[in-house]
Amino acid sequence: MSRAREVVLVLGAAGLVLAIAWFVPWLRFVLTIALAKGLAVLGILLLLRAGQVSFGHALYLAFAAYAAAFGAALVPETLILLPLAALGAALLGLVVGLFVVRYREIFFGMLNLALSMVFYSVLEKFYAITHGTDGIRLPPTTFAGQVLGAEAQGWAMLSLALVLSAFFAWLMRIYLASPLGQALAGIKTREARLEFMGMSARRVLLSAYVLSALMAGTGGAVLGMTTRHVTPALAYWTTSGELVFIAILGGAGSVAGPFLGAIAYELTRVYAAALVADAWQMILGFVLLLVILFAPGGLWAIGRALMGGRRQA
Amino acid sequence: MTSGDPGPILGAAVGKPGPVTRRETLAAAVAGGLLLSGRHVQAQPSRPAEIKVGIATYLSGPASVFGVPGRQAAEMLFDEINEAGGIGGVRVRPIFVDEGPGVDHFVGEYRRLVQSEGVHIVFAAISSGDCLACTPLADEMKRPTLLWDCGTQRIFEENRFEYSFRTQANATPEVLSALLYLLRAKPDFRSIAVVNQDYAWGRDSWEIFRTAMQALKPGVRVSAELFPRFGATDYSTEITRLLALRPDVVLSTSWGGDLDAFIRQSSDRRLFERSTFVLPLAESSLERVGRALPAGHIIGARGDHWFLHPGPKDPALLKRFTDNFRRRFSSYPIYPCHHMAQAVFAMKAGYEKAMAAKGGGWPTDAELAAAFRGLEFPSLTASVRIREDGQGLENQIIGTTHHADQYPFAVMTDMVVFPAELVTTPVGMKSADWLKTLKPEIIQRVPQPVAYQP
């Protein structure tokens, strides 16, 4: 696919998101949340390239969201807070990564899960600081020094989420095309060969892990600043499971998959909840089953088939 | 890298140049049809065709033991209002949303209720987290919001809101009344142990209880502070420990399946024979645990909610509600049903007050919100007044369990109805500070208990 065509597609997709948010105002919030989760799922996708599933990426999501919540009291500026929170998550990712990249597959997944649950417990038990499960509210933040009204703030966060999504999708493509990114596939197929080539599999995985923590952190900071209320549930294992689920729903074949999956997931959830308040989980479950049974490549694969089949991108 | 462009979002037709095919048109139509409703501006303040009420409640998860009875009560009361001609001649329609998926989903649902469904008023919520998240949102979106069941005292003590009002009490009076009842019924207890769920309410309620206890009866030994996991099903460790420690009093503010399991297992291991239990939320579990809860223990109902209330203001109203509810849903109404009734009655009274102030004209959102401040409305058992800070003043009933032949479960005897003013934190004070100023004389001001009348 030509570069110009891709740019047109990205702009078209962004335009569509903005159009939906304009015509259906309440979806603006839902779409922002979806993009934030999409960012975190992009991080999961990166590790999937190495054949590793993290069942604990909600750790970075929640860490950045809480960092933003606590930081907002000190630095009430979105454009400073967001990178700080994301970098904090990346740093945490580096520390955790040093340990978890020694493990593979189920051990990698479970260790991540365990650590995210440790963080969940910390948030829940340090009641005097975190207010436990009731969570804490983010004070209003300025945007580039401007105090925005509720409406403008909503648009600013959606635009920011769009820009960040496009940026990280682009960054991820470059990363995956680079030797470091290519080596991830080596970890998936046969790690020993990678070592024979003189590359350290641990370092390769560590760099991917830190990058994925950064993306999950960015998503978490956007999420926290959009809902403006953070609770420990963000770090709970079901949130991690949701992220992995979105990755499968969207399809692991493309950097567009996470965003496609996240938006489809959130829209299915809100419309199912609007349609049948007490059986929405069943609808969501059916959609997931259908995708797993009939479109194992995820929504992205369906989209590509619709767009003209076997063309190589 | 096999493929990869951060591509289209909803359908294949997006952003693709060239002629539009039938398939693309179809995809676009599907995408368009997905978006149920468009942008619309709410007409104000002409009389609407119906009053739409967004109701947040738990329809899934552990707290659905409160959420589902709450919804049942709402359905019944909305039907009754509509049969009687609606509010100001306008029918009312509830739109329920599930709090189960958590705060971030609920915040989205709140926006949907206001911006897509166009609800005129919102009842939110059971979860304190949801209430904390939606009160600033209510001010932002300028939609009157009644906090119908959540317990946290933080909301109006830490902030001031223009559009949010609580139609019931909060954690402080609910827990303090149980303590006052205990101090009166069993003044010489020397040790206490607490077994609370490990989440915000479990921690908060113990904090309130302990602070007040230190002010009113210093020197009580706290033998154990146990916080089993939220949703725990096995309490054998806690019970073994309590059997060994032999505290005079065991306090637990747990609810739902957690409390049921704790009561049943304590009963099996005869812990009830060694210690007096104080269970401020047990009213909602009585029917489920049946006779497993023995006589002689202290229980409460998060307000003056009791189908055998010793002195209801309007006995016919309480009886009609209880009978209708039993006929329709085959269970006794528990406290969330009363809380829901209070929200519904407050809505009705609020609209009527706002319309009266406008000479019969339909109120705007701001006028409706203003009507709630200082509003006094009936509850099923007494009446509730919304204070100037938005907090409701609600009486509290605490009693001792008693086994009567008519009921296959424990009922209350020696019931004390605490007047709201006695146990509620005054306006402008924080509960933690106010509780420290309490003097033991307050116990003398507690009303006389009323015995169970068969």
Tokens of residue B125, six digits: 């919520």
Shortest alpha-carbon distance between residue B321 and chain A (Å):
25
Q: What is the mean pLDDT of residues A47-73?
A: 89
User: What pLDDT does residue B4 have?
Assistant: 38
pLDDT under 50: residue ranges of chain B? 1-20, 25-26, 28-44
Q: Give the residue from B450, B331, B346, B341 showing the smallest Cα distance to B402.
A: B450
pLDDT at A309: 52
pLDDT for the residue numbered B11 = 37
Nearest CA in chain B to A33: B104
pLDDT at A239 over 80: yes
What value does the mean pLDDT take over residues A269-281? Answer: 79
Inter-chain residue contact A26 with B38, CB threshold 8 Å: no
Pick the most confident of A132-146, A260-274, B374-388: B374-388
- Taking the C-alpha atoms of residue A171 and residue A210, their distance in angstroms, rounded to an integer, is 14
Q: Which residue has the tokens 């209330």?
A: B309
Rounded to whole angstroms, the Cα distance separating B417 from B50 reads 38
Q: Cα-flanking dihedrals φ and ψ of residue A17, to 5°?
A: -60, -45
Q: B35 near A20, Cβ under 8 Å?
A: yes
Q: What confidence category does residue A269 fall into, taking pLDDT thresholds of 50, 70 and 90?
A: confident
| pLDDT score recorded for residue A287 | 82
Most distant CA atoms of chain A, gap in Å = 58
| Chain A (96-135) residues lying within 8 Å, Cβ to Cβ, of chain B | 124-125, 127, 131-135
**pLDDT above 90: residue A268:** no
Beta-carbon neighbour count of residue B54 at 10 Å? 23
Q: What is the mean pLDDT of residues A123-143?
A: 81
8 Å CB contact of A26 and B112: yes
Interatomic CA distance for residues A259 and A41, integer angstroms: 8
Cβ–Cβ < 8 Å for B415, B310: yes
A266 has a pLDDT exceeding 50: yes
Measured torsion, CA atoms of residues B411, B414, B420, B423, in degrees rounded to the nearest 10: -110
In angstroms, the separation between the Cα of residue B194 and the nearest Cα of chain A is 16
Chain B residue with the nearest C-alpha to that of A36: B104
Contacts of A271 in chain B (CB under 8 A): 34, 36
3-state secondary structure chain A: CCHHHHHHHHHHHHHHHHHHHHHCHHHHHHHHHHHHHHHHHHHHHHHHHCCCCCCCCHHHHHHHHHHHHHHHHHCCEHHHHHHHHHHHHHHHHHHHHHHHCCCCHHHHHHHHHHHHHHHHHHHHHCHHHHCHHHCEECCCCEECCECCCHHHHHHHHHHHHHHHHHHHHHHHHHHHHCHHHHHHHHHHHCHHHHHHCCCCHHHHHHHHHHHHHHHHHHHHHHHHHHHCEECHHHHCHHHHHHHHHHHHHHCCCCCCHHHHHHHHHHHHHHHHHHHCCCCHHHHHHHHHHHHHHHCCCHHHHHHHHHCCCCCCC
Q: Lowest-confidence range among A216-220, A300-304, B13-17, B233-237?
A: B13-17
Residues in chain A closer than 8 A to B38 (CB atoms): 23-24
Contacts of B9 in chain A (CB under 8 A): 13, 16-17, 259-260, 263
Residue B327 CA to chain centroid, in angstroms?
23
Angle at A176 between CA A173 and CA A180, to 5 degrees: 145
Lookup result for tokens 């978006």: B35
- CA pair distance A145, A131, nearest whole angstrom: 29
List CB contacts (< 8 A) between B109 and chain A.
270, 273
- How far apart are alpha carbons B423 and B411 in whole angstroms? 24
Confidence of residue A135 (pLDDT cuts 50, 70, 90): confident
Are B133 and A173 in contact (CB < 8 Å)?
no
User: Hey, where are the domains in chain A?
Assistant: 3-233
A277 vs B39: CB contact, 8 Å cut-off? Answer: no
Phi-psi region of B290 (alpha: psi -120 to 50; beta: other; left: phi over 0): left
Report the alpha-carbon distance of residue B143 to residue B445 in Å, rounded.
40
- The number of C-alpha atoms within 13 Å of B450 and in the hemisphere containing its C-beta is 14
pLDDT number for residue A1: 54
* pLDDT for residue A308: 64
B-contacting residues in A 192-231 (Cβ below 8 Å): 223, 227-229, 231
Q: Do B132 and A229 touch (CB under 8 A)?
A: yes
As a whole number of angstroms, the distance between CA A237 and CA A57 comes to 9
Average pLDDT over residues A208-227: 92
For residues A64-71, average pLDDT: 92
- Long-range contacts of the stretch A119-126 (C-beta < 8 A, 24+): A119/A59, A119/A62, A119/A63, A119/A235, A120/A62, A120/A232, A120/A235, A120/A236, A120/A237, A123/A62, A123/A66, A123/A232, A123/A235, A124/A232, A124/B198, A124/B199, A125/B198
Contacts of B98 in chain A (CB under 8 A): 273, 277-278, 280
Residue A134 has pLDDT above 60, yes or no: yes
- From the list B397, B427, B179, B389, the residue with the least C-alpha distance to B304 is B397
pLDDT of residue B158: 86
Cα angle B78, B80, B83; round to 5? 110
User: What's the number of CA atoms in the CB half-sphere (13 Å) around residue A110?
Assistant: 5
Residues in chain B: 454
The two tokens of residue B344 are: 């519904």
Residue A145: half-sphere exposure toward Cβ, Cα within 13 Å: 0
**Whether residue A279 has pLDDT greater than 80:** no
In terms of Cβ atoms closer than 10 Å to its own Cβ (0-12, 13-18, 19+), residue B274 is middle
Q: What is the 3-state secondary structure (H, E, C) of B373-385?
A: CCCEEECCCCEEE
Do the Cβ atoms of B107 and A29 come within 8 Å? Answer: yes
Residue B282 to residue B288: CA distance in whole angstroms: 10
Domains of chain B from N-terminus onward: 50-169+314-390 (3.40.50.2300), 172-301+395-445 (3.40.50.2300)
State residue B165 phi and psi, 5-degree precision.
Answer: -140, 145
Query: For residues B368-400, b (16+ Cβ closer than 10 Å) or e, as one string?
Result: bbbbbeebebbbbbbbbebbebbbbbbbbbbbb
Nearest beta carbon to residue A13 from set B2, B4, B9: B9
The reported pLDDT for the residue numbered B401 is 94
Taking the Cβ of residue A281 and every Cβ of chain B, the question of whether any pair is shorter than 8 Å is answered with yes
Report residue B407: phi and psi, to 5°.
-120, 135
pLDDT at A192 (0 to 100) = 81
Residue A99: closest CA among A39, A59, A42, A48: A59
CB A174 within 8 Å of CB A255: no
Which pLDDT belongs to residue B1?
36
- How far A31 CA sits from the closest chain B CA (Å)? 10
What are the C-alpha distances in Å from A247 to residues A206, A265, A300, B337? 20, 10, 10, 41
Closest-approach residue (CA) in chain A for B23:
A306
- The mean predicted confidence, pLDDT, of chain A is 85
pLDDT of residue B368: 92
Average pLDDT over residues A77-94: 91
- B2 contacts A312? CB cut-off 8 A: yes
- Contact status of A237 with chain B (Cβ, < 8 Å): no
